[in-house]
Structure 1
Amino acid sequence: MLQIMTRSQVNQYLSGRDGEIKLGQTVKLISESAPSLADLKQALCEAKTNGVQFVIVGITEDAGPRANLGRGGSSAAFSATMQQWLNLQSNRYLDGKQCLILGEISQAPLPEAASLEELRQATKELDNQVISVISQILAAELEPIVIGGGHNNAYGMLMATKAHFNQAAAAVNLDPHSDFRPREGRHSGNGFSYAAANGALAYYHVLGLHELKNSEATLEQLSLFGGHWHSFQQIWVRREIDLGQALQQIASNLNQTQLPVALEIDVDAIAKMPSSASTFAGVPLLDACHYIHYIAKHCPCTYLHIAEAAPQCHDAGDMAGKRDVGQSVSELIYSYIQARKVS
């Protein structure tokens, strides 16, 4: 279900300081009481009329990664991000009035002993909630920025994009994994293969694909679909092509499709980021920020989806995880807004 963010909840995140105005004091909200889904589109349209461009929404779940035999913890990414994002300064670079904090698409947590079948069924049920909420944001001609949960939610995002534009999307994904695994039941490893099979994905490029973290069967399935990739080793290890050149190629190819662009990032790609599949051999955070900024600036992006952050997976514990996830995801959000913000 969708839990609307209230002013009292925002205030709980805020740490005020005399003489300063924080984003949490200037961002827009829907209402103190949650509207019905039928009323949501109207409320979002009114927000657009009042200058909102971006709708920030969380997905509070970790069934998707667990259904993919990964670790849980992605249910805490949104709250960790709000703790940091809402306490950033409102100033000449971003006053916050372009942003609406919608709230969280939440799912009741499943017990540790839940079976694989139960986890995959829960993931499938979540798809419908994601499609419903994102469809209404797009219908109001606003740009969703979606935080938290597993990368399984790319499926719902792409299906909502297809429904809104009446055509498939072109997606780019910074991710060591293609998430194009077999359609064996819904989980975080097959959001894109399910989207492709359901006509929601027409073009797909994976940036930073790790050459040894994708099975041959998955690579073959991606190749048969016509997918493209630059591997992590090509850019950051062997230096066969630099990041700037790769991004120019990706943006050019995305624009040639003349399709709406889905901008995706799995924070598994970022070195030492707490996530369901954390890695030491990863992309620097600043390169991830540049990726988001470049694609958002040069392509007709429909949304930004930041998946898989899991604060509890931090080596130093949950508190350190919330700090690192919150700060990192906030930088990714701002990179997108900088590129997309209408003056």
Structure 2
Amino acid sequence: MLQVMTQTWLDTFISTREGETKLGQQVQLLKSPQAKTNQLKQSLQDAKTQGAQFVILGISEDAGPRANLGRGGSTTAFNAALGQLLNFQSNRYLNGRECLILGNIEPKTIDSNATTEQLRQATAALDNQVIEVVTQILAADLEPIVIGGGHNNAYGLLMATKAHFNQAAAAVNLDPHSDFRPREGRHSGNGFSYAAANGALAYYHVLGLHELKNSETTLDQLSLFGGHWHSFQQIWVRREISFEDALKAIANNLNQTQLPVALELDVDAIAKMPSSASTYAGVPLLDACHYIHYIAKHCQTAYLHIAEAAPQCHEAGEIAGNRDVGQSVSELIYAYIQAKKPVQY
């Protein structure tokens, strides 16, 4: 269920300092703490009238990655991100009133001994919660920035986008995996294939797809759908195309669809980022930030989704994981906001 952010909860993240104003002291919260659909809709509309543009929503779950036979640990990314984001300075570059901290979707905890089938059932149940909440955010003409959980939640986001715009989305995903696996039961590896089958995804481009981390069956399915990709090896290893040229081509193709754009990022793509499938051979964080900024600036994005961060999976322990995830995800969020709100010097 949705745990709505309260002032008391928010205050636990903020370290105040005399003479400074932090983003956490400026951001908006819902006036009503109730998460019921009718009350949520009105509260979101009220926030919009008060200047909110972005809604930051957490999803604290790891059933999706575990249902994909991966590691857990993606339950704490939202808290890690807020610990850094809310302590950024409120200044001429970003005031903070543009952001509403909605809260966190927290499904029931799934036992560590749960079967794969139980995990996939739990992931499917979570889909409905994500769809309900994100549909309300979009209905209020606000932009969701969704943090945490597995990449399975792309399905709920795409279905909510379809429900709001009454048309399928065009998605771009920075990810070594296409997440277009067979529809064998819901998990983090098939959010996009399920979305395509249910009419929520009309165009799909994977940026940074690793040539040896996708099965031939998955590549065949993606090709049959009409999916596109630039591989990690093409851009960062063989240098057959520059990163900038790839971004230009992707943005141009997304815009030609004239569809709402789903902006997706799996932190598995970023080098040394603690996640369910972390890698040393990955994209630099600054390139990931530029990807978000470029697509958000040049395309009509419906939302930003940052998935799979898992502080518990850091090689140096969870404290180090919270620090690295918090700093990285906060920079990714700000890259999106910068693109939507040009800096006024």
Give the TM-score band, short-chain normalised: over 0.9
The aligned amino acid for 1:72 is: G
Secondary structure of 2:152's counterpart equals: helix
Deviations 1:199-241 (A, max 9, x none): 0000000000000000000000000000000000000000000
Structure 2 CA distance for aligned equivalents of residues 42 and 250 of structure 1: 36
Specify the code of the residue in structure 2 equivalent to 1:210. H
For the residues of structure 2 that align with 1:292 and 1:57, how far apart are their CA atoms? 17
Specify the alignment match of 1:27 in structure 2: 27
Percent pairwise identity: 76
Number of the residue aligned with 1:173? 173
The 8 Å contact of residues 179 and 189 in structure 1, kept in 2 or not, is answered as yes
CA contact (8 A) 1:168 1:201 kept: yes
Superposition pairs for residues 265-280 of structure 1, below 5 Å?
265-280=265-280
Contact 2:32 2:39 in 1 (8 A): no
Q: Is the 8 A contact 1:85 1:330 kept in 2?
A: yes
Find the counterpart in structure 2 of residue 288 from structure 1: 288
CA distance in 2, matches of 1:54, 1:340: 10
d(CA) in 1 for partners of 2:287, 2:146: 20
Alpha-carbon distance in structure 2 between the residues aligned to 1:249 and 1:327: 29
Q: In the aligned structure 1, how far is the partner of 2:36 from the partner of 2:131?
A: 16
1:37 shift after superposition: 2.1
For 1:180 and 1:284, locate their aligned partners in 2 and report how far apart those are by CA, in whole Å: 24
Contact between 1:3 and 1:34, CA under 8 Å: does it hold in 2? no
CA distance in 2 between partners of 1:9 and 1:94 (Å): 22
Letter in 1 for 2:157: M
- Residue matched to 1:226: 226
For 2:187, the equivalent position in structure 1 comes to 187
1:156 counterpart residue number: 156
Hey, what's the Cα distance between the residues in 2 that align with 1:307 and 1:59? 9
Contact in 2 for aligned 1:312/1:321 (Cα 8 Å) = yes
State the partner residue of 1:44: 44
Distance 1:283 1:249 in 2: 19
Looking at structure 1, the residues matched to 186 and 32 of structure 2 have their Cα atoms a distance apart, in angstroms, of 34
Count of aligned pairs between the two proteins: 343
Give the Cα separation in 1 of the matches to 2:221 and 2:35.
Answer: 42
With 121-130 and 39-48 compared, the bigger mean Cα shift is at: 39-48
- Matches of 2:53 and 2:266 in 1, distance apart? 23
TM-score, length-normalised on structure 2? 0.98
Q: Secondary structure, in 3 states, of the residue corresponding to 2:12?
A: helix
Name the structure 2 match of 1:94: 94
Match of 1:207, SS state, is strand
Distance 1:257 1:55, change over 3 A: same
Q: Which runs of 5+ in 2 are unaligned?
A: none
- The 1-side partners of 2:306 and 2:264 are apart by 6
Contact 1:4 1:31 in 2 (8 A): no
User: Could you tell me whether the CA contact under 8 Å between 1:152 and 1:189 is conserved in 2?
Assistant: yes
Closer, same or farther: CA 298–314 of 1 in aligned 2, 3 Å = same
> Any idea what SS the aligned residue of 2:229 has?
strand
3-state DSSP of counterpart to 2:120: helix
In structure 1, what is the equivalent of residue 9 of structure 2? 9
Looking at structure 2, the residues matched to 14 and 2 of structure 1 have their Cα atoms a distance apart, in angstroms, of 22
Render the CA deviation track for 1:120-167: whole Å, top value 9, x for unaligned: 000000000000000000000000000000000000000000000000
RMSD: 0.8
Q: Deviations over 1:271-322 (max 9, x none)?
A: 0000000000000000000000000000000000000000000000000000
Please give the alpha-carbon distance, in whole angstroms, between the structure 1 residues aligned to 2:68 and 2:286: 28
Distance 2:231 2:30 in 1: 41
Report deviation, 1:85. 0.6
In the aligned structure 1, how far is the partner of 2:96 from the partner of 2:140? 19
The structural deviation recorded for 1:108 is 1.5
Residues 32 and 43, structure 2, Cα contact 8 Å, conserved in 1: no
Contact 1:6 1:32 in 2 (8 A): no
- Name the CA distance, whole Å, in 2 between partners of 1:50 and 1:152: 33
Alpha-carbon deviations, 1:73-113, whole Å to 9, x = none? 10100001011111110000001000000000111211110
Asked if 1:56 corresponds to 2:89, the answer is: no
Structure 2 CA distance for aligned equivalents of residues 235 and 173 of structure 1: 15
Matched, 1:123 2:123: yes
CA distance in 1, matches of 2:267, 2:36: 32
SS at match of 1:74: coil
Q: Is 1:5–1:102's contact at 8 Å kept on the other side of the alignment?
A: yes
1:165, 1:26 → 2: CA distance? 31
Distance 1:47 1:18 in 2: 28
Q: CA deviation at 1:32?
A: 6.1
Partner of 1:103: 103
Residue 111 of structure 1 aligns to a residue in which SS? coil
Partner of 2:214: 214
